Amino acid sequence: MTFNNLIIDKSNFIQLITISREAKLNALNRETLKEINLAIIDAIVDENVRGIIITGAGEKAFVAGADISEFSSFNSPEGKELAKEGHQNVFDLIENCPKPIIAAINGFALGGGLELAMACHIRMASANAKMGLPEVTLGLIPGYGGTQRLPNLIGKGKAMEMILSANMITAEEALTNRLVNKVLKDKPELLKAATELMQNIIQKSPNAIKAAISAINAANKPDGFNKEIEEFSNCFGTDDFKEGVNAFLEKRKPKFN
């Protein structure tokens, strides 16, 4: 599959997706969003991919936001469709992906860029990263899940401060507020750490990873505990469960397919 705005590298069961619009600070235009959708779907169905890492080209930006020029003349119905398509085709697709996704935030993650990172299951950042949701300066609000995911990650008060002030925070502030899991000194160290973490994760049961993602995503929802019970019970009927238990009893490392 050939892309204009993405670079895809598959190695050792990990798919690295690099958003490559460096001259535009990797801003998300419609073509790029469509390509991300196709790349994630490709990774989901590819048996040789067990985990995904998303990063941005260059050293300056992960994704510096949406491409404003594409929607500057939109009316309300067009704005609604823009948000709806983005949610369904990219941001919700990422959040509900059955395979783990790490955002390697290598610089600016603003607006749609931070919303893209927040849709991922885990976030790691380089020391030069800066994050924010500046949409109110455009007379808008975050439209790709920013008002929903940010409070869940950092709490309502801090989310209100970030969204209403439109101020950026540093990588260290993001770490303090639990917006990211870890901060690394530069992009090479960031990708190394993200890859090492993903290699650790994908050695575990693929079925259990999928079930855990589904159950965690249901947290704080009315059916959250029921979803956990459902996913927990389903695991008992899998080959992964049999292999995991046998390996434990035989005091060896499990070998999952």
How far is it, in rounded angstroms, from Cα 5 to Cα 22? Answer: 9
How far is it, in rounded angstroms, from Cα 195 to Cα 177? Answer: 23
Is there a catalytic annotation at residue 115?
A: yes
Residue of 115, 161, 230, 243 marked catalytic: 115
Residue of 31, 135, 161, 189 marked catalytic: 135
List of residues 6+ apart from 90 with CB closer than 8 A = 33, 36, 37, 40, 116, 119, 144
How far is it, in rounded angstroms, from Cα 152 to Cα 219? Answer: 10
How far is it, in rounded angstroms, from Cα 80 to Cα 77? Answer: 5
| Kind and range of the H or E run holding 110 | strand 108-110
The three-class DSSP label of residue 55 is: strand
The residues assigned a catalytic role are: 115, 135
